[in-house]
């Protein structure tokens, strides 16, 4: 069952697609639902996508397809619509969303200390489903993975990880670090991407995964 806002959003998207063949922008959705920020739209879109009511068309920032409606089940063409008039393909756009920017990944400062600090505008095409936040990278321990000091790491919030994923790990509830996550016997190994640094090994109870790397933004001065 959808929430009221989710129901309002999918109806708005479906009506706009029926009228124009182009999905509405995040700004239009924000205004239609009277939301304060585009991040709220992103959360609603992600929830509808996870429940398989809509899907994002690949490689396009503004391209949504309604798979089903809550009242009618799987979406089918209207009987009154001519068979020779298919819906126009959604067109790409440069939509951006705002995600929390929690600060720099710094030794001795857990991520929670940065909650609600500021927001970062991010191209919607860089993010998939789920909840995201951003961190500013500090240091050179991941340079061989193309992650440089001052980059913005876009993190999908989750508390589990698979071997080989780049994660934000909170060590002993005090030090946040961005590293490759691997299991080594009964231990957790956090691998840097810089041969000047050694892997770090911890008991599983010492490490708490706080998300995995979903994308990267770089600023050029």
Q: Give the residue-averaged pLDDT of 11-37.
A: 84
**Contact call for residues 33 and 5 (beta carbons, < 8 A):** yes
pLDDT at 84 over 70: no
Which listed residue (30, 138, 141, 212) is catalytic? 141
Domains of the chain, CATH where assigned: 4-74 (1.10.10.10), 96-217 (2.10.109.10)
pLDDT at 129 over 70: yes
Give the model's pLDDT for residue 23. 81
Give the model's pLDDT for residue 80. 44
Which listed residue (30, 38, 156, 179) is catalytic? 179
Give the model's pLDDT for residue 162. 93
pLDDT at 48 over 80: yes
Check if 37 is active-site.
no
Give the model's pLDDT for residue 168. 92
Q: Give the residue-averaged pLDDT of 75-102.
A: 55
Give the model's pLDDT for residue 182. 96
Q: pTM value? A: 0.56
Give the model's pLDDT for residue 92. 45
Check if 179 is active-site.
yes
Give the model's pLDDT for residue 173. 80
pLDDT at 55 over 80: yes
Least confident of 49-58, 74-83, 102-111: 74-83
Band of pLDDT at residue 146, cut at 50, 70 and 90: very high
Report the percent of the chain where pLDDT is more than 70: 80
Give the model's pLDDT for residue 37. 79
């Amino acid at each position: 069952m959808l929430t009221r806002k989710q129901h309002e959003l999918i109806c708005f998207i479906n009506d706009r697609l029926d009228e124009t063949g182009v999905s509405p922008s995040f700004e239009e959705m924000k205004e239609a639902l009277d939301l304060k920020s585009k991040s709220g739209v992103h959360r609603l879109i992600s929830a509808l996508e996870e429940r398989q009511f809509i899907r994002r068309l690949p490689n396009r920032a503004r391209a949504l397809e309604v798979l089903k409606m809550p009242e009618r089940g799987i979406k089918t063409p209207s009987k009154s619509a001519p068979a020779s008039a298919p819906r126009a393909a959604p067109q790409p756009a440069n939509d951006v969303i705002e995600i929390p920017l929690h600060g720099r990944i710094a030794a001795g400062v857990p991520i929670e200390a940065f909650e609600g600090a500021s927001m970062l505008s991010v191209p919607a095409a860089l993010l998939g489903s789920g909840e995201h936040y951003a961190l500013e990278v500090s240091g050179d321990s991941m340079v061989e993975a193309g992650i440089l000091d001052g980059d913005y790491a876009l993190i999908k919030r989750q508390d589990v990880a698979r071997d080989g994923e780049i994660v934000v790990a909170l060590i002993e509830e005090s030090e946040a670090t961005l590293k490759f996550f691997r299991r080594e016997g009964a231990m957790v190994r956090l691998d840097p991407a810089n041969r000047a640094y050694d892997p770090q090994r911890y008991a599983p109870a010492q490490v708490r995964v706080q998300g995995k790397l979903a994308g990267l933004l770089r600023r050029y001065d």
